[in-house]
Structure 1
């Protein structure tokens, strides 16, 4: 019985190790205007994109989180500028939110792209099998 349990545990560990190396696709949802949430979100996407280079990561920013991607207001601009250069990371901002606050794409940190609707972007990613992470306090 002990041998069977040992074999099952060994099989489980091998399965977990293999599963952790499989590429994933994750979309991060950021709506908070709090700089602490922005910093935490950047840590998550930075760490994961480095640890899992074959995986894809997208951060969708909208509503009160716009300051995160604005050249003149971002508390994470240096990190964001570095991350937009990675092949497996993208940052998307909601055009409807930009319009609501009367902002243009020239206000954005270079490399940040706009999408017509942030919520729809997230829904479409989920329909394509992407995992969803809500960044909040």
Structure 2
């Protein structure tokens, strides 16, 4: 009986091997197809590292520029912890990029809990920023609502 089972497995694997080993033609692959009417993603930032922040903003812009997602994308950027510097006036690091993203419909949300912990006021943030009670709460709710959570 063992020999028959082993023989069956070998025959089955032998039949499957050509199917599994077929090379993919790179010119035939064009990425995933955007078949849904809407896509939703929330980016989270919790570091003050300006290179990470710049990278995240570029990634958001790249998503907005993807021709498959044009007119189908809802985006939010949630900032907390050390990343508050991205939204802080006077630094000027990211003001133009943030304003551009907001004009394209990206929600720019700041964690009020971080502001309390760091003794920051709304006057210190860009006037075009929105606020959420906690970043973690926002991420939990968005994820349960089906949003993709992206952490650069």
Q: Mark yes or no: TM-score above 0.5.
A: yes
TM-score by length of 2: 0.73
Identify if the C-alpha distance between structure 1 residues 79 and 102 changes in structure 2 by more than 3 Å, giving closer, same or farther.
same
Identify if the C-alpha distance between structure 1 residues 57 and 83 changes in structure 2 by more than 3 Å, giving closer, same or farther.
same
Corresponding residue to 1:28 among 26, 40, 43: 43
Distance 1:99 1:50 in 2: 35
1:13 Cα deviation after fit = 6.1
1:60 corresponds in structure 2 to 78
Coordinate RMSD, CA, aligned = 2.1
Distance 2:127 2:72 in 1: 24
List 4+ stretches of structure 1 deviating above 4 A.
Answer: none
Partner secondary structure for residue 103 of structure 2: coil
Which runs of 5 or more structure 2 residues have no equivalent in the other structure? 1-18, 20-24
TM-score by length of 1: 0.80
State the structure with more CA Rg.
Answer: 2
Identify if the C-alpha distance between structure 1 residues 50 and 73 changes in structure 2 by more than 3 Å, giving closer, same or farther.
same
Which runs of 5 or more structure 1 residues have no equivalent in the other structure? none
